């Protein structure tokens, strides 16, 4: 009699009498079988995935996503509808957009696809997850045609599925040199909005997409003269867009709160009038429903955080988070389980990836530590928060031109027992 005769519902991989395989897997030494995206896969024993896409790790884990990559202006990441990280970067060597769909919460397993639908375009890219779970990517096309003319267009790439096994791309704007510093967000109805720079006219523009692929759209000029850069857009608690950007004339940080979904009317505020500030701005929505942002003050060479006091950010509190003179470039922010900000940033003196954990909502005090010292790390970093409250950070390491993903063991990136 079989040991399983009196039982029902026994999984086939147990009932087959084979004690050392699962779903045909043959994991190598040091790996464990993890159940992700509806199937079993071999993954790192340091991490793994919970049923909800959470992270079950006991230590921090670094995963190499690609090497020998001349990354473009930006690397971007979001947590997908499956609870796993989704990463996008442009490779200037191949001149193709690369998408990485993690199939484990710590990205110890992943699928990477070179997307060809945008041709050679891909600079100044940004990405959001659509309401249907399919990533959408805004990007700038500055490719040279066979007749030596240059495109200078804003495009939108839409993935065919949540893993982006393929994609399609549409032209969004081509009225002059448009599309640098593009930033994309998804409205509550699932339609994208894109804010971007019109280099020809020195203007900040806003594209209001009328369908999920942005095949039809309307445009607004929302700053006519300040020649914007370092543009970021987010959908606020009031379901309306909020845009932060650096003005290249006065080199200050401005914020625009759209008073309607098309941003036909808006309120503009100078958030930081210091000389030469507002670079590498990163936005998040706090647990109080108000916008918070981190950015570099180039003159003081410090990392700053500005916390809005109202939806329109007509008033705000600005704090210097790190005045060591070594940090401030490439900040990326997430909100911790305690409701306070966590900032990941490049330490340019140590060429390291650094973390600052704020101890209050305005980040008037914080604790900091270095996460990655190996190589020349921390550039172009972007962070996201998983369902269990543990951050994940993707960054560039100039040694071997790597794109790496750092998975934190918990909410403070402190290994258990470490």
The pLDDT assigned to 48 comes to: 53
Predicted confidence band at 1 (pLDDT cuts at 50, 70, 90)? very low
Q: Label residue 333 by pLDDT band (50, 70, 90).
A: very high
Closest by alpha carbon to 53, among 11, 83, 18?
Answer: 83
CATH class of 61-407: mainly beta
Whether pTM > 0.75 for this model: the answer is: yes
Using the 8-state DSSP alphabet, how is residue 314 labeled? S
Q: At residue 56, does pLDDT exceed 80?
A: no
Q: What is the pLDDT of residue 342?
A: 97
State the burial class of residue 12 (Cβ atoms within 10 Å of its Cβ: 0-12, 13-18, 19+): exposed
The single-letter DSSP state of residue 4 is: T
How much is the average pLDDT of 182-198? 98
Average pLDDT value for residue range 183-201: 98
β-pair partners for 155: 139, 171
Q: Report pLDDT for 45.
A: 46
The CA-atom distances, in angstroms, between 34 and each of 25, 47, 240, 259 are: 11, 9, 40, 47
Judged against a pLDDT cut of 60, whether residue 32 lies above it is answered with: no
Q: Is the pLDDT confidence value at 357 over 60? A: yes
Closest CA to 321 of 301, 337, 336: 301
Residue 145 scores a pLDDT above 90: no
**pLDDT beyond 80 at 410:** yes
- Listed by start position, the domains of the chain span 61-407
The mean pLDDT value for 7-15 works out to 59
End-to-end Cα spacing for the chain: 49
- 191's tokens: 């339609």
Mean predicted confidence (pLDDT) in 152-171: 97
């Amino acid at each position: 009699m079989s040991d399983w005769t009196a039982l029902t519902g026994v999984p086939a991989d147990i009932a087959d009498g084979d004690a050392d395989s699962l779903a045909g897997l043959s994991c190598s030494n040091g790996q464990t079988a993890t159940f992700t995206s509806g199937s079993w896969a071999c993954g790192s024993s340091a991490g793994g995935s919970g049923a909800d896409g959470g992270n079950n790790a006991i230590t921090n884990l670094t995963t190499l996503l690609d090497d020998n990559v001349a990354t473009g202006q930006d690397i971007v990441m979001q947590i997908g509808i499956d609870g796993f990280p989704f990463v996008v970067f442009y490779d200037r060597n191949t001149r193709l957009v690369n998408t990485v769909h993690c199939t484990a919460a710590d990205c110890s397993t992943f699928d990477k696809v070179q997307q060809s639908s945008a041709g050679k375009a891909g600079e100044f890219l940004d990405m959001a997850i659509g309401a249907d779970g399919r990533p959408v990517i805004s990007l700038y096309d500055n490719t040279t045609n066979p007749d030596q003319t240059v495109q200078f267009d804003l495009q939108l790439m839409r993935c065919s599925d949540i893993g982006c096994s393929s994609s399609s791309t549409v032209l969004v704007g081509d009225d002059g040199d448009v599309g640098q510093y593009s930033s994309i967000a998804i409205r509550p109805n699932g339609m994208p909005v894109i804010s971007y720079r019109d280099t020809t006219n020195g203007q900040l523009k806003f594209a209001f997409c009328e369908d999920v692929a942005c095949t039809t759209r309307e445009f607004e000029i929302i700053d006519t003269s300040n020649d914007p850069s370092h543009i970021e857009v987010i959908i606020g608690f009031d379901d309306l867009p909020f845009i932060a950007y650096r003005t290249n004339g006065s080199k200050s940080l401005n914020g625009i709160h759209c008073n309607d979904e098309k941003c036909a009317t808006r309120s503009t505020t100078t958030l930081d009038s210091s000389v030469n500030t507002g670079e590498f701005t990163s936005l998040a929505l706090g647990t109080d429903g108000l916008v918070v942002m981190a950015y570099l003050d180039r003159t003081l060479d410090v990392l700053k955080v500005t916390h809005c006091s109202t939806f329109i950010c007509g008033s705000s509190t600005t704090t210097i988070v790190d005045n060591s003179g070594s940090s401030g470039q490439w900040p990326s922010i997430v909100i911790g389980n305690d409701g306070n900000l966590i900032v990941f940033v490049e330490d340019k003196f140590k060429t390291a990836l650094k973390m600052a954990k704020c101890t209050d909502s305005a980040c008037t005090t914080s604790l900091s530590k270095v996460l990655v010292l190996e190589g020349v790390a921390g550039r172009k970093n972007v962070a996201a928060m998983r369902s269990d409250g543990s951050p994940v950070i993707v960054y560039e390491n100039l040694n071997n031109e790597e794109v790496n993903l750092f998975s934190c063991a918990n909410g403070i990136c402190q290994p258990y027992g470490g």
